[in-house]
């Protein structure tokens, strides 16, 4: 009827208008190719921003093709820019892994263990893209393109299914179907995550602690990992190289909240547990030994700020020095282990220089209960020492290699720990009889409980700790029981308050009856006494040092004094060396990595008059 609008016509017009509106809505994808494999680098709301990114990527000369694709609201794609470069072309494949975290639900994919499984399986891919799983799991377009990667996706799913099928109690093909379904669920969550924007804002404005509190208050616990990683994925979106990414994560690091620190620790571990990130972070590394020593200095919080390392690596060193961050430390140790396991020479100066470099690395890895890094590190060190310490082109025999490495350690507990770690490795099991005999010989010379640990626990705990390590290493049970029983046979008046480190836990023995020697150090009107102030004293320019020096040529963490049983060992960790003058004796100059026990009285001299400065003279005396 005239004057009455036709409702059907009105609805059709509204639908047509909505369709036209959606078609006008467009996003611009920047797509890169290597070896014919396309991947989305980023998605931008404006063509101008996408073109700027494309031109930047072309300048890297890394990709064979860079293009900008316009995608309208209906999903229609149109290439608006494309340029080819005759570089790139390497093929990325999966890495071999032996274990994989099992996920029964899609939300478990965002957990730390699952992310590390993906990181190690697709290591080359993540290195190439300069991203970590915590980021990539929330990006729909990269996930979509990743699914099309013939050398990655299908082989990766197959490997995961093979490893996880026994835990699931299903056949490999059935587990693979489950994984494919889970991957589709991850894509769907990545495409529809608008409800997580408020958590992203909380992280940006108020930090990790507030993010965790808000996630706990508003969502079930099982959603926490997804919420946290999504927030960091958003925060890291604009950081496309490893140093900038590391710095962005450290920006949120605040000590004092264990849960918040655990989140940062996990993200740092993801970031530094790879060859390419470490290479970008070190910056300055004339040879392999320099790179490994830089990582060990970072691990100990002793990185020298006068060397041309990146600022981000110095920031990581300072963060690690504050304590905690155990996963990040483990990732750094993994990279040291990886460097030792290769066959590349440690230096460019020949076998003699390689041998000296190895000794410095070995001493930096020494701990009370062996070498840091456990069985894998013990195996890597032994293999490398066989090569580096050999002569005339021949490797050092296994027995002599073990003697060399055990001899670099400070006491019976450390030597036993190294031998047990080596026996627990696949490489060491081949020479089990020799290692068992060495362990028995060292136990046979132990006269006091204080030789077996650095600080205090019950006798039962000591027996249990050593028993676990002995049996874990494959030592025959009868012999292990005999060795552990030796501890119980030590008279009560010889048992000391000494700790035994087992599996990352420290346990105690009973109090010492005899006064232990003390090291007294005096400088600038201040006095320090070891072991009253702990098992270690750090000397240097850094505000973190117990003894701070105002000497320009001193390193941030110039020298360290360690308490090893009843000995006080001074180690140099500097560029310019440390002079030790014994009372009534000759002086000795230590170079980086060298150490000497302090005896009697004397002076530790740091600084150089030739450089126009007054050296710091630290007076020391061993009493008792």
Q: Does residue 274 contact residue 126 with C-beta atoms inside 8 Å?
A: yes
Residue 492: pLDDT band with limits 50, 70, 90: very low
Q: How far apart are CA 618 and CA 624, in angstroms?
A: 20
Residues 523 and 596 in one domain: yes
The tens digit of pLDDT for each residue in 391-414 reads 877 888 999 998 989 888 877 878
Flag whether 612 is in a domain.
yes
Q: How far apart are CA 421 and CA 417, in angstroms?
A: 6
The tens digit of pLDDT for each residue in 521-539 reads 888 777 888 887 777 888 9
What's the angle, vertex CA 411, arms to CA 410 and CA 416, rounded to 5? 115
Q: How far apart are CA 75 and CA 513, in angstroms?
A: 80
Closest among 41, 49, 35, 141 to 85, alpha carbons compared: 35
Quick check: 2 pLDDT over 60? no
Flag whether 384 is in a domain.
no
In the block, residue with structure tokens 């957990």: 111
Query: Which of the two residues, 466 and 243, has the higher pLDDT score?
Result: 243
Q: Could you count the other beta carbons within 10 Å of the beta carbon of residue 406? A: 18
Q: Quick one: pLDDT at residue 469?
A: 74
Quick check: 164 pLDDT over 90? yes
- Name the DSSP class of 35: T
Q: Quick one: pLDDT at residue 468?
A: 74
Residues 619 and 541 in one domain: yes
Q: Does residue 360 contact residue 290 with C-beta atoms inside 8 Å?
A: no
Which of 191, 216, 241 is where one domain is finished? 191
Flag whether 55 is in a domain.
yes
Flag whether 219 is in a domain.
no
**Structure tokens, 587:** 């002086």
**Helix locations, 169-223, DSSP H:** 172-191, 197-206, 208-218
Q: Does residue 437 contact residue 444 with C-beta atoms inside 8 Å?
A: no
**Structure tokens, 606:** 């740091």
Write the CB contacts of 191 (distance below 8 Å, at least 6 apart in sequence).
140
Q: Could you give the 3-state DSSP secondary structure of residue 36?
A: coil
When the pLDDT of each residue in the chain is averaged and rounded to a whole number, the result is 82
CA distance readout (Å), 328 to 131, 160, 262, 267, 485: 17, 25, 10, 8, 37
Residues 547 and 577 in one domain: yes
Q: Domain holding 572: CATH number?
A: 2.60.200.20
Q: Calculate mean pLDDT across residues 418-429.
A: 89
Flag whether 456 is in a domain.
no
Q: How far apart are CA 214 and CA 208, in angstroms?
A: 10
Quick check: 323 pLDDT over 80? no
Task: Give the whole-number percent of the chain exceeding pLDDT 90.
Answer: 30
Question: Lowest mean pLDDT: which of 440-454, 543-557, 605-619?
Answer: 440-454
Tell me the chain's radius of gyration from C-alpha atoms: 29
Q: Quick one: pLDDT at residue 14?
A: 47
Quick check: 454 pLDDT over 90? no
Please provide the size of the chain in residues.
Answer: 624
The tens digit of pLDDT for each residue in 196-223 reads 999 999 999 999 999 999 999 999 999 9
Residues 112 and 186 in one domain: yes
Residue 349: pLDDT band with limits 50, 70, 90: confident
Question: Lowest mean pLDDT: which of 67-71, 133-137, 202-206, 479-483?
Answer: 479-483
Phi and psi at 220, nearest 5°, equal -65, 155
Q: Does residue 281 contact residue 272 with C-beta atoms inside 8 Å?
A: yes
Q: Could you count the other beta carbons within 10 Å of the beta carbon of residue 529? A: 12
Question: Residue 100 burial (CB < 10 Å; 0-12/13-18/19+)?
Answer: buried
Domain residues for the domain of 34 are 23-84
Q: Calculate mean pLDDT across residues 223-250.
A: 93
Residue 3: pLDDT band with limits 50, 70, 90: very low
Q: How far apart are CA 285 and CA 279, in angstroms?
A: 9
Quick check: 437 pLDDT over 90? no
Q: Quick one: pLDDT at residue 377?
A: 93
Which of 38, 53, 84 is where one domain is finished? 84
Residues 552 and 618 in one domain: yes
Flag whether 560 is in a domain.
yes
Flag whether 587 is in a domain.
yes
Flag whether 14 is in a domain.
no
Q: How many domains does the chain have?
A: 3
DSSP sequence for 42-86:
EEESSHHHHHHHHHHHHHTT--SEEEEEEEETT--EEEEEEEE-S
Q: Could you give the 3-state DSSP secondary structure of residue 37?
A: strand
Q: How far apart are CA 480 and CA 450, in angstroms?
A: 20
Q: Return the biggest CA–CA distance within the chain.
A: 121
Q: How far apart are CA 497 and CA 511, in angstroms?
A: 4
Q: Does residue 340 contact residue 380 with C-beta atoms inside 8 Å?
A: yes
The tens digit of pLDDT for each residue in 10-56 reads 455 544 444 444 445 788 888 888 766 788 888 888 888 888 888 87
């Amino acid at each position: 009827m005239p004057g009455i609008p036709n409702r059907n016509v009105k609805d059709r017009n509204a639908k047509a208008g909505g369709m036209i509106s959606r078609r006008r809505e467009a996003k611009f994808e920047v797509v890169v190719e290597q070896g014919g494999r396309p991947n989305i680098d980023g998605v931008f709301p404006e063509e101008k921003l996408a073109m700027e990114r494309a031109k930047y990527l072309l300048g890297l000369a890394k990709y064979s093709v860079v293009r900008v694709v316009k995608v309208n609201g209906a999903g229609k794609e149109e290439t608006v820019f494309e340029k080819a470069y005759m570089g790139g072309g390497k093929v990325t494949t999966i890495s071999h892994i032996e274990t994989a975290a099992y996920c029964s639900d899609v939300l478990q994919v965002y957990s730390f263990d699952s992310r590390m499984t993906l990181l190690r399986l697709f290591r080359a891919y993540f290195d190439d893209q300069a991203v970590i799983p915590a980021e990539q799991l929330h990006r729909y377009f990269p996930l979509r393109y990743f699914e099309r990667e013939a050398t990655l996706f299908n082989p990766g799913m197959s490997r995961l299914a093979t490893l996880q099928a026994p835990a699931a109690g299903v056949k490999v093909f059935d587990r693979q179907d489950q994984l494919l379904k889970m991957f589709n669920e991850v894509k769907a969550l990545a495409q529809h995550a608008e409800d997580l924007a408020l958590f992203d804002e909380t992280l940006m404005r108020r930090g990790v602690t507030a993010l965790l509190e808000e996630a706990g208050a508003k969502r079930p616990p099982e959603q926490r990992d997804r919420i946290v990683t999504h927030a960091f994925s958003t925060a890291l979106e604009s950081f496309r190289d490893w140093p900038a990414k590391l710095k962005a994560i450290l920006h949120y690091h605040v000590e004092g909240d264990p849960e918040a620190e655990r989140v940062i620790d996990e993200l740092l571990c993801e970031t530094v547990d790879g060859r390419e990130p470490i290479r970008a972070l070190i910056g300055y590394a004339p040879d392999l030994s320099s790179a490994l020593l830089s990582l060990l200095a970072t691990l100990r919080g002793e990185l020298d700020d006068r060397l041309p390392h990146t600022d981000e690596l110095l920031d990581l060193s300072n963060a690690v020095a504050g304590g905690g961050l155990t996963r990040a430390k483990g990732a750094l140790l993994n990279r040291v282990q990886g460097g030792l396991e290769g066959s590349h020479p440690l230096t460019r100066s020949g076998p003699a220089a390689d041998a000296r470099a190895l000794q410095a690395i070995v001493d930096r890895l020494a701990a009370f209960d062996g070498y840091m890094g456990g069985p894998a590190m013990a195996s890597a060190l032994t293999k490398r020492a066989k090569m580096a310490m050999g002569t005339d082109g021949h490797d050092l025999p296994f027995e002599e290699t073990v003697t060399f490495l055990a001899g670099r350690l400070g006491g019976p507990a450390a030597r036993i720990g190294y031998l047990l770690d080596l026996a627990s490795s696949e490489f060491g099991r081949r020479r089990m009889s020799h290692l068992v005999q060495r362990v028995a010989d060292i136990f046979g010379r132990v006269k006091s409980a204080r030789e077996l640990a650095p600080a205090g626990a019950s006798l039962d705990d000591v027996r249990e700790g050593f028993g676990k390590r002995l049996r874990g290493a494959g030592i025959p049970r009868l012999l292990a029981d005999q060795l552990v029983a030796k501890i119980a046979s030590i008279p009560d008046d010889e048992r000391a308050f000494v700790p035994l480190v087992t599996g990352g836990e420290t346990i105690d023995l009973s109090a010492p009856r005899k006064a232990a020697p003390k090291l007294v150090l005096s400088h600038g009107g201040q006095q320090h006494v070891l072991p009253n102030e702990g098992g270690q004293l750090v000397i240097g320019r850094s505000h973190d040092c117990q003894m701070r020096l105002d000497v320009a040529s001193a390193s941030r963490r110039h020298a360290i004094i360690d308490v090893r049983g009843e000995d006080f060992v001074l180690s140099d960790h500097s560029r310019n060396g440390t002079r030790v003058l014994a009372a009534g004796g000759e002086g000795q100059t230590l170079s980086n990595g060298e150490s000497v026990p302090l005896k009697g009285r004397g002076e530790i001299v740091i600084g150089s008059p030739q450089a126009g400065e007054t050296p710091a003279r630290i007076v020391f005396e061993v009493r008792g």
